[in-house]
Amino acid sequence: DIQMTQSPSSLSASVGDRVTITCRASQNIANYLNWYQQKPGKAPNLLIYAASSLQSGVPSRFNGSGSGTDFTLTITSLQPEDFASYFCQKTYTTPYSFGQGTKLEI
């Protein structure tokens, strides 16, 4: 199976900062990479699909890029509501596995 590795596992930042989270696949997954945000006690929420397409209703400060094996999620100008956990997911082939997550803290 293709493994998904996220880094960092945790990240401290301040309101207004720009942060970048990376996700690496163990094999080429083209652009089949999604990003989710999850807040405590809630289900994940889709932010980005197909590596760089913004899901409807998601603020434009969320930006996804990459293809092949290396992907990034960038959040420009962090807002208080952005402090949460973030997960990547590959959907190139089943299993549609997730990364282990990045916890973004104040």
Taking every pair of Cα atoms in the chain, the longest distance, rounded to a whole number of angstroms, is 38
Among 29, 49, 62, 71, binds another protein (CB under 8 A): 49
Query: What DSSP letter does each residue of 54-72 carry, written as one string?
Result: EPTT--TTEEEEEETTEEE
Nearest residue to 81 via CA among 51, 59, 52: 59
Among 22, 31, 67, 74, binds another protein (CB under 8 A): 31
The least CB distance from residue 20 to another protein, in Å, is 19
State which residue, 27 or 77, has the beta carbon closest to another protein.
27
Nearer to another protein, 18 or 39 (CB): 39
Please state, in angstroms and rounded to a whole number, the distance separating the CA atoms of residues 1 and 4.
10
Binding site for another protein (CB under 8 A): 1, 31-32, 34, 36, 43-46, 49-50, 53, 55, 87, 89, 91, 94-101
